[in-house]
Amino acid sequence: MKITNQRRAARRKNHFCALPAFTLIELLVVIAIIAILAAMLLPALGRAKESGKRIACINNLHQLNLASQMYKDDNQGLFPPRSEISRWPNRLCVNYAQNLNVLLCPRDGENGKTPATGTDTNNPADGAPRSYLINAFNDYFQSILPDADWTAYIAGTYTSGMKESIIRFPSETIIFGEKTTDAPDYYMDFYEGNDLDRVEQSRHGGAGSHNGSGGSDYGFADGSATYIKCPGSLSPVNLWAVTDAARTNYALTY
């Protein structure tokens, strides 16, 4: 009996010794493979996350477009005027969009800064953090207004907005665009140079904000919203303009 038990113990020992095991080199190879796979997957996950934020931004612009369409239908076909008293967020969000979250792009403020807005207002919507600005159609009003009305327009006291029927290319004319995080501007104004300094053309899919790479999202007069690579909103056609002179000249020289 004693010999039998010894033989069984020897067989068990030989069995366990024969089980395969990882060597240190094999373990390091496995770890290296896992690291390579992770390095390949992380950029794809980052791109998917960025794509989701860009889609959310476009959805915001769709909501703003819809609000502007409803506003226009209630105001003889006019878009919100360039006003210093009741700006477009107050006119659109309070009565139509009814959600101040549509004013914020999920990609904006990732640098830890709160998107800037005006501070000289008691309207909650006008004073809310904001990622977007609206087209003020400077090129058109400057071409038709007499001096006194143009002075009122610049001061933000001219009461009329842009007439929808005047926009000849609604699918190629921007209503809403993204602004730089630090800019408090409400309106895209040619004469102030905001087309280059304040409009954010590189918020999505690039190497950084306002650096000429990637692109940004835009809402158009026909109600659509889309992503345009930098500097496609300004060249070869200036999509912020409605007059021939401004559309066919780069914003830099207008």
% the chain with pLDDT above 90 = 64
Domain boundaries along the sequence of the chain: 55-247
pLDDT greater than 90 at residue 194: no
Question: How far apart (Å, rounded) are the C-alpha atoms in residues 246 and 54?
Answer: 29
pLDDT greater than 50 at residue 16: no
pLDDT greater than 50 at residue 225: yes
- The mean-pLDDT minimum among 19-23, 109-113, 119-123, 129-133 falls in 19-23
CA 220 to chain centre: 14
Strands (E), the chain: 132-135, 174-178, 187-188, 215-220, 225-229
Predicted confidence (pLDDT) per residue in 146-168, tens digit: 999 999 999 999 999 999 999 99
Strand 225-229's sheet: what is its strand order? 187-188, 132-135, 174-178, 215-220, 225-229
